[in-house]
Structure 1
Amino acid sequence: MEEERHTNNNHNPKPNPEILQALEALKRASKEVEVIATTSDDGGCSSPSMRALLELETGSDDLFSGDPLLSPLRHLLSELRSLSSSLPSTPPNKSIGTSFLNSIFRRPKSPHHAMVSRVAGSISAEIQSWIDRETLHRLVSALGSQFSDEERATLLLALETRASEGFDRGFQDTLLKSGAFSVVESALAEPGCAKVVRDRCAALIYALVRFNKDVFVGPVLMGSTIDSLVTIASPATLQALNGLIAAIKSPLIDELHSRGELQRLVSLLSSPDLEVQIRALEFALAIGYFGRKEAVEAMLAQGLIKRLLCLQRSELGGALIEMDSWDFPKEIGRNSDHGIHVGRLLKPKQGKSKQMRFLEARPFASAVARFAVQVEVGEGLRQREKRAIKQDILKRVKEAATSPVEAANVFAEVLWGSTP
């Protein structure tokens, strides 16, 4: 029956935002009834939200008859109507004095009030399932047809938001039946797909891994997602990759190493795009923390320390030891997520630690020492491996430094701190 319904829907696959907007409005109405049913004298029967749900029930025979998946919602709406009919209505001309007395001598609510609240909550869940099915079906249709990039990006963002709400078995079942993951992964790998769509695909895949790692880590490791994220190498896809590393840890790093992707990612530290450089640094720090010996050594062999030193010498570099004597400059231009705009310093956002604000404005400060700290406190290496890697870092600092003074300063940071 599900396949038959999808076949019927494919006659008109064009996404219709009005349908989803109407369903969202009905879900909000059911949630409102769920709350006010236990707090109002009439169980919320006189509220606009209740009237909206009862109007939906009135047309349910025609609206729901062709879809067996909507049968539970139809029965719940019918039950809600029966319950609302059994509750007393609030007199429209009740006086202020009567309301005041009722607030003092309030009678306990009947069991019907709790039943209305329970049914309204179940209606909300069924409407959410309906929204999930519609959104997933429209997304699969949109990514496989000629739809605008804005429509595709909107649907991808809607699913990302839904997945970020936390685990829901019903949503997971609907998601798996829809085949949406493979469609999203294919769109991510499609060079002709718009950048905004591919970026949203990357964010959605990361959200799905956070939604349920047991289900989605396997497809990520075995499919084309990893290669696509590295190949695109936009700030958004690199952010998704860094998030996946934090979620999956060593298995993903091992996969990147086996595919030879670490060299390409290290080279991004020299990208002309500032945001890409920042994401590449975050990637290097994550590998230092989670990576095994082979992965960390592979990055060092690709000139990681030399590139980190170059970043430290840049306008956005320096050393964390400068933080106490550094005055935040006046804001220039518009804010960005990192307090940076076209390589110039901005006034970082308030409410954060001074160190965090310093690193937002000077993201490459003490880059080598920060990497060394991640290696030392991380979970990917044995203690003797950490000591060996630290010695290798110092050796490479000495080789890459432009002067003995620079080498001595970095040595001091690596050996004695001044890092997060």
Structure 2
Amino acid sequence: MDQTPNQDDRQLFTMLKSLQQASKDLQNSSIFATNKPQSAIELFLDLENKANALLSNDPNLFKVSQILCNLKTLVEKLQKYQGYSLLCIFRRQIINYKIYRVACEMETEIQAYFDREDVENLVETLEDSDEYDEDEKVRVLIEFEERLSQGFDLYFQDLILKAKVFSILEFLLCDSSCSTRIRDQVSLAIAALVRFNKDVFVGLVLMGPTVRALISMSSSCSIRVLSLLIQFIRIPLVDELEAYKEIPRIINLLSSENVSIQVGAMDCILGITYYGRSEAIEAMIEAGLVEKLMELQRLETQCQMNGNETNSENGEKSSRKMESDEGDYSENCPFEGCVTRFAVQLEAGEVLSKKEKKEFKLEILRRIRAASVSEAESAAIVAEVLWGSLS
């Protein structure tokens, strides 16, 4: 019975993965003289016999086939020098080194083949809006992100740039007709690209509409990615946010009904505070940040007090519940002390001068007093801010 192309593809994929692993095993057995390479050699020779037919069907694998032949020749030579004379030991060392180099080359070449196939599949899947469904697009985006997380690879970067992958991702991110699920995954892929190589992809992020699209989406994932980009890009991105008047929009997200969006916005605010120039800090304060943080902290405190009262009324059952949730306390109280966190981050910031920090701190204290609902609240938060700044 004839095999379908899908079956052939699966067979080829499995074979290449096995060859890649076998090449790693050969590298290890070649480096460490104390290791017995026989099992690795036997596995490799067994795979080599099965691989020739599959590799010959794909012209893109011609180099892999050549490397395989070279490796087989070296392995056969190694088996001829199994004695303990100085000549045999010397020859084995030379051949082991050659096996290591060729095995490295094979591993790299197979990975390059996988990368070419994956990038082509990524582009085809994302650009075709009819043939591929949402699940498939999300799947290839996740696989792409995982590949980027393995670390920098110049060849893989060249594939990405030649295929214009960033432009495709940027288009999808800005396409409001795309589902939020796809756009969220696209945003994660863009963050992974920046982490992969800041020198290349930071410029593309700053020159395009990526940042503004993330803020416009205002999903918990997009705001989390924005926070990551602020951490990666730092001062240049904060400057862009201030120049395009995006900071007030981030402040407004603190009023979202979705707690995860509020938390993401808070992370962005702390990043802006740390890397922002005086214009960015002024924009946040003028947008009512201190007042919003006061309100969030007040609500947090009230929720904690209500929760404690409820737990006391419910007795032992609630006590057990509190114990089980103790590890999640910080997650359940994300805005506890948020005014102080903002002030401390301002004090620790990289960009502001000491004079600017002092002036902003006085303005923050003034706004805390004005926004407080009681003298007790004002005194408590002012003390926290002053103590936090001194710590």
The two structures have a TM-score, normalised by structure 2, of 0.84
Residue 44 (1) aligns with residue 40 (2): yes
In structure 1, the residue matched to 2:293 is 308
Residue 169 (1) aligns with residue 154 (2): yes
Cα distance change, pair 276–26 in 1 and its aligned pair in 2 (3 A): farther
Q: Secondary structure at the match of 2:257?
A: coil
The 8 Å contact of residues 366 and 419 in structure 1, kept in 2 or not, is answered as no
In structure 1, the residue matched to 2:55 is 60
The 8 Å contact of residues 173 and 213 in structure 2, kept in 1 or not, is answered as yes
In structure 2, the residue matched to 1:76 is 67
Residue 208 (1) aligns with residue 193 (2): yes
Which among 169, 186, 206 is matched to residue 184 of structure 1?
169
The CA deviation at 1:396 is 1.1
Identity %, equivalent residues: 35
The CA deviation at 1:25 is 4.3
1:44-85 residue CA offsets vs partner (Å, 9 max, x unmatched)? 2212x5532453244433322xx3xx4432321121121223
Q: Secondary structure at the match of 1:309?
A: helix
2:214 & 2:147 partners in 1: Cα distance?
Answer: 22
Cα distance change, pair 397–63 in 1 and its aligned pair in 2 (3 A): same
Cα distance change, pair 20–142 in 1 and its aligned pair in 2 (3 A): farther
- Taking the TM superposition and a 5 Å limit, the aligned residue runs for 1:342-353 are 346-348=325-327
Q: Secondary structure at the match of 1:231?
A: helix
Which among 93, 97, 101 is matched to residue 118 of structure 1?
101
Cα distance change, pair 329–379 in 1 and its aligned pair in 2 (3 A): farther
Further displaced range: 34-43 or 235-244:
34-43
1:239-260 residue CA offsets vs partner (Å, 9 max, x unmatched)? 1111111111111111111222
Q: What code does the residue aligned with 1:367 have?
A: C
2:71 & 2:366 partners in 1: Cα distance?
Answer: 74
The CA deviation at 1:213 is 1.1
Further displaced range: 288-297 or 162-171:
162-171
1:207 & 1:123 partners in 2: Cα distance?
Answer: 27
Cα distance change, pair 141–22 in 1 and its aligned pair in 2 (3 A): farther
The CA deviation at 1:115 is 2.0
Q: Secondary structure at the match of 1:347?
A: helix
2:380 & 2:284 partners in 1: Cα distance?
Answer: 23
Q: Secondary structure at the match of 2:40?
A: coil
Q: Secondary structure at the match of 2:176?
A: coil
Q: Return 5+ residue gaps in structure 1 as ranges.
A: 1-11, 92-101, 320-327, 333-344, 350-357
More helix, by proportion: 2
The CA deviation at 1:194 is 2.2
Question: How many positions carry a matched residue from both structures?
Answer: 362
- Taking the TM superposition and a 5 Å limit, the aligned residue runs for 1:263-342 are 263-315=248-300
The 8 Å contact of residues 285 and 371 in structure 1, kept in 2 or not, is answered as yes
1:228-287 residue CA offsets vs partner (Å, 9 max, x unmatched)? 110111121111111111111111111111222111110111110011111111111111
The CA deviation at 1:314 is 2.3
Residue 246 (1) aligns with residue 231 (2): yes
1:280-323 residue CA offsets vs partner (Å, 9 max, x unmatched)? 1111111111111111110111111111111112247899xxxx
In structure 1, the residue matched to 2:315 is none
1:20 & 1:329 partners in 2: Cα distance?
Answer: 54
Which among 333, 339, 364 is matched to residue 362 of structure 1?
333
Q: What code does the residue aligned with 2:55 have?
A: S
The 8 Å contact of residues 234 and 275 in structure 2, kept in 1 or not, is answered as yes
Residue 417 (1) aligns with residue 351 (2): no
The 8 Å contact of residues 55 and 62 in structure 2, kept in 1 or not, is answered as no
Cα distance change, pair 419–27 in 1 and its aligned pair in 2 (3 A): farther
The 8 Å contact of residues 145 and 189 in structure 2, kept in 1 or not, is answered as yes
In structure 2, the residue matched to 1:28 is 21
Q: Secondary structure at the match of 1:379?
A: coil
Cα distance change, pair 317–251 in 1 and its aligned pair in 2 (3 A): farther
1:318-344 residue CA offsets vs partner (Å, 9 max, x unmatched)? 99xxxxxxxx97568xxxxxxxxxxxx
Q: Return 5+ residue gaps in structure 2 as ranges.
A: 305-317
Cα distance change, pair 316–402 in 1 and its aligned pair in 2 (3 A): closer
